[in-house]
Amino acid sequence: MILDGKRVLVTGGTGSLGATVVRALLRGDAGRPARITVFSRDEAKQNDMRLSFLNRPAATDEVIYANLRQILHFRIGDVRDYPAIRAAVEQADVVINAAALKQVPSCEYFPIEAVQTNVLGAGNIVRAIRESGAHVEVVAGISTDKACKPVNVMGMTKALMERIFAEANLECPATRFVCVRYGNVIASRGSVVPLFLDQIAHGGPVTITTEEMTRFLLSLDRAVETVFAAIESARAGETYVPRVSAARIVDVASTLIDGRGIDITVTGVRPGEKTHEIMVSEEECHRTISRGEYYVILPMLPELRHQEPYTPVLTSEYSSSEVNLEGAALRNLLAPFMETR
């Protein structure tokens, strides 16, 4: 499998997505790596993560326990710190960049901090590979639908990360830089689902910003599958976009409330928030193709495009405004989270 024998570095490895990536790596979902390094600046989260993997009671988790003891390593550091990320990159064959400031309001109030992590951090990874001569085979950058036609700082900085990694293919031709872009990951920190469940547990009200708001929804496991698919199949400069469903946030709230007498309150749109998210813009449609279960946005830079002909698969933007997740289908998607309330 693609990651057999590879040294994998996961920046932001203690975050919601990063931790799920690490768990999948320990299970061997994409092969058995020679080494997995969790790189993050939070020593408490690293310690909690280590202990959670060591204290798995179920027999099916023995693989994770054994692989943790053999191949999982933790490294304190910040992508903002060039010497720290360079030292980590020099020992990696594959880099998954999940380090990010991703809370939309926080990025609006602290835009320089978002730039430092999301933009300059990505630049530090590229610089580390270029200047150290590290033999990194592939770098996968974790982006977001907010990077498409961005209106907020978080999306703007992620859009720049995408462009930095695309151009890096010209600077570091021995390394393949690719990106993945997706929407709201249901169980991640900052997702509306954990917030709604907490509000329901306290008797409400459940707060939504506007009744018109829609979002793409996918599970953490689906997000990780997209990362592994891009590492395996994406060509230099390509962006992988999963085909996922979209729902109205008010419907998500109503489904989780599940008939209980809990009110829904409209609070107004937060700073930098979109009503609808877009995963592929109108401008990107003409260079978007289909590959398996994914849309693939071909790189903007002509030097990175392959010469064989292709047929675009989209004629308009891929937007969450095209709601296709309602009723029983939405309930089935949210059922695992409703069961834990």
45 tagged catalytic: no
Catalytic residue among 6, 102, 146, 158: 146
Chain CA centroid to CA 39, Å: 16
Distance separating alpha carbons of residues 184 and 297, to the nearest angstrom: 19
Distance separating alpha carbons of residues 104 and 305, to the nearest angstrom: 33
SS3 content of the chain, % helix, strand, coil (to 5): 45, 20, 40
Count the Cβ atoms, other than its own, within 10 Å of residue 188. 18
Pairing of strands 288-291, 294-297: antiparallel
CA distances from 173 to 84, 122, 129, 148, 165 (A): 23, 17, 11, 26, 12
Distance separating alpha carbons of residues 301 and 39, to the nearest angstrom: 31
Tokens 């609070």, residue located: 267
Catalytic residues, by residue number, are 146
